[in-house]
Chains A and B, each alone.
Chain A
């Protein structure tokens, strides 16, 4: 296997998925309109939360929009990542997977190109959300370095999370099931975390769930970067969360992928 061939294969598959995404107008529509709806609706409904005594101290800001922007990013990352498995299902059903498998490409390129395209898509979506936030007065406290770190978190977490979806897609070979599981997991995970509310405002049992919910650590990491400044402990937890989720999901996905492509 030559390295340049491998790069070309991954690049071709990456480009294929980017093209496919751009040519599905409904996908673009939802991935851009949904954050707008979230920003406008939720902050309109919940902005008074910031007036609760103790919010400013716990959140580091008295702007609920700023606090909530992390939730919008996470929501977008998860729901976008959750779509990635559907592409795999379509390929398995349409016979395109067989076309790739019968070609002399390294089979891992099929997975790597796909996963990278998911990560890339998620980064673009996040940039759009940040620009939207900017219009609503949300700036990133940690500046350019913070922005880079934020995008790195989003990219790696997105890839790790899309691994879960790809695993479900490969395991069930059913796009509806993949979509259902994604919807059913996204919302509880988001609302039972510290993404939407500071921890002290959550009910006791929700606090317990939030402690074990990986979303909380990602949310805390993003909150820090956007609102308060570099907090390396929080960022460390976020990185650890990504590593654990990624290790589990990508290992599972790779082994399921091997099973599916080995015949």
Chain B
């Protein structure tokens, strides 16, 4: 057994930057949001892939002008599919989508003019240099040469590709390709920028520099819609977020309000399976009887206990589980994090999977994960 002594063991009020916001308004969503408030307004969106895969299963949400909005969820939750629909890349099955007051169905061309999109798979041309990639992109947005040249220069500097600008993108490292891709999405100075897993596959240092850049873009007034499978990323960047799992939105609000909803410490107890009886259920029944415990929930590896005064309860919990002969594999106590929010709403832990670079197969179609 290992009780992880996190710095957050004492239920300190871990205050993220969005804390001062009144939690209730954003979390409840009772306020009627109109096309004028929202730069993206989605109602009951569904996407079914043949034969019967519901990638997006009736979701409704909005993105306010000027905010950083996030979709948090595991691989295959429907994040990319939703973004692809809103960016006009994929047809929806049903539902309505408005972008900046424009109906997706009627004005896809106008929507394309005001959005930027950096996909999870970097879309740069390896045979062109960084500068040529940017120039061509500027041409796609009908920016005149006179106007585009200084803009290209500036953006090369901003993303730190000065030394590599005249080298072919095929020679770039993963991080450089990502930065070029982001630069390409920004060349048109979009009102609304979509970033599909902007930091997946990046090392921690590059990740932080991307975060800082996203923040600075947002401070300049750009609305940002990002998807991520990293809790920390969602927590640090997003003003508001939706937690999405299996094509459905399971919770939405500010990171602070979502965590506040839990209203207790979370003690995750992973249980060693003894093969004979359902240790998890035994543990849950036992822990429920403990005074001070608000709720006990099963999850894939064990049970999650929600309690106000977590630290003081841990010794009793351990003793109690010992009494009923349940063996603890791991015990973690924390102030509520977005992990716990996800766990609470879905009953399973969010696994973060690294997306491996697609290998080139000699024969057969390359397998892609469900978008």
Contacts and interface: CB of A to CB of B under 8 A. Distances in A.
Given A95-B123, A98-B89, A99-B123, A104 B142 contact: yes
Interface residues of B, number: 36
A105 B88 CA distance: 13
Given A8-B139, A104-B141, A23 B127 contact: yes
Contacts of B117: 98-99, 102
Interface residues of A, number: 28
A20 B127 contact: yes
Contacts of B122: 95
Given A93-B366, A103-B140, A105-B140, A98 B132 contact: no
Contacts of A100: 140
Nearest to A15: B136
Interface in B54-76: none
Nearest to B361: A176
Nearest to A261: B89
Contacts of A93: 358, 366
Most buried by A among B123, B168, B184: B123
B113 A104 contact: yes
A102 B366 contact: no
Contacts of B139: 8-9, 12
Given A176-B363, A263-B84, A98 B112 contact: no
B90 A12 contact: no
Contacts, number: 79
Contact of A263 (B91, B140, B142): B91
Contacts of B115: 102
Given A96-B123, A102-B88, A262-B91, A16 B113 contact: no
B109 interface: yes
Interface in A67-101: 93-101
A255 interface: no
A104 B115 CA distance: 9
B123 A94 contact: yes
- SS class of chain B's interface: helix, strand, loop or mixed? loop
A19 interface: yes
A10 to B, nearest CB: 11
Contacts of A263: 84-85, 88-91
A27 to B, nearest CB: 11
A96 B133 CA distance: 11
Interface in A141-191: 173-174, 176
A263 B89 CA distance: 6
Interface string B178-212: 00000010000000000000000000000000000
B96 to A, nearest CB: 17
A24 B127 CA distance: 8
A5 interface: yes
Interface string B124-136: 1111100010001
B229 interface: no
Given A102-B87, A103-B112, A104-B112, A95 B168 contact: no
Contacts of A23: 127, 168
Interface of B: 84-85, 87-91, 109, 112-113, 115, 117, 119, 121-128, 132, 136-137, 139-142, 168, 184, 358, 362-366
Given A9-B139, A102-B112, A104-B141, 14 more contacts: A12-B139, A16-B128, A19-B132, A20-B127, A24-B127, A96-B124, A98-B119, A99-B184, A104-B109, A104-B140, A104-B142, A176-B362, A263-B85, A263-B88
